[in-house]
Homo-oligomer: A and B are copies of this chain.
Amino acid sequence: MSKRPTIGIFDSGFGGLTVMRSLLTLIPGANYVYLGDTARLPYGSKSRETIARYAVDSLRFLEAQGAELFVVACNTASALALDALEAEAKIPVIGVIEPGAAAVRAAYNQTMSEAAVTDLAGNGVLVLATEATVQSHAYARACAEHGMKAFEKACPLLVPLVEEGWIDSPVTEEVVRIYLAEALTQAREHNITPHTILLGCTHYPLLQPVLECVLLKHFGANEPMGILDSAEATAQRVKQIMAERFPAIPTGSGELKFFATDSVEKFQRLGSRFLGQPIAHVQHVDLGG
C-alpha cells in the first residue's frame, strides 16, 4: 500500500483552515501539516520584502515537517510573496488567487451562452477582500488574465466580525448589505456589472450563508449573482495536482498536525470554527521576529 502524501498549508492566522476544511473533504487520505504564523499577523500592513521573508520561513518549516506540496492559504502572501516562494521551494507551491479567478471563469463559461462568454464587456466579477489584498490588485490582474473585469471591494469589518463569532448576527447582515450596496454602486461607476461575487479572503467562506441571505433579500431581483470562494477553488486545484503526483492515496483518514507561532489556546478556540471540527492539539513554534 502506498504511503500517505503530506500537504503543507500556511496562513498568517486561522483563515487558511477554511482551505483545509475543503481539502479534508476532497482528499481525506492525505496527511496535513498546518502552520498559522499568528505571532506576526496581520501581514496586510507589512512590506512585500517582510511578507516574503515570513512566508519563506514558513515554507522551510513545513518542508522540514515533510510537506510535499505547499498551499499558501493566505491572500496577502499569495498576492505579494508567490514569486519569492516559487523561487525558494523544493516542492510545488499553490496560492489562492489564481485558482479563485480560474474558478469564476469556468463557472461563467458553463452557465452562459457562447455569445455572452465572448462578450467581455459584461463579464464582471466583484471581489470582496481585505484592504491589503485589494491594494495589491492581484485579483484584478488574475481576472484580467481570464478575460474578466474585476471590481475589488475592501471589507475591513468582515474579518473582525468572523473572529468575534457573529456569523449569523443581524449586525453582520447589515454590514454585508452596506458593503454590497457600496460595491455595486462603485462597480457600476467603473462600468463593471458583476455576475459573480468572489470571496477573496479565507475568513469569508464562513459568511457565505449571510451573503446569500442578503443577496436574496436586498438585491435578488436586480442583481442575480453567484458566489464562489477562493478557499474551495484552491482546494479543487490542489486535488487536481495531487491526483497527478500521487495517483494512489490510501483510503481512510490521514494525520492532522497544527502549529502556531502565537497562543495555542486562541488558535484552538478560534480555529475550530474555521475548520468546522474540533482541533485536538496545537503545537507552539518560534520562527523568530
Chain A residues engaging chain B, CB cutoff 8 angstroms:
38-39, 41-42, 45-46, 50, 156-157, 160-161, 163-164, 166, 169-171, 174-175, 178, 262-263, 289
Contact = CB atoms under 8 A, between A and B. Distances in A.
Contacts of A166: 157
Contacts of A164: 156-157
A50 B39 CA distance: 11
Given A39-B46, A46-B39, A289-B289, A161 B157 contact: yes
Number of copies: 2
Contact of A163 (B156, B161, B262, B289): B156
Contacts of A157: 157, 160-161, 164, 166
Given A39-B46, A46-B39, A160 B170 contact: no
A171 B160 contact: no
B38 A45 contact: yes
B163 A174 contact: no
A141 to B, nearest CB: 22
Contacts of A160: 156-157, 160
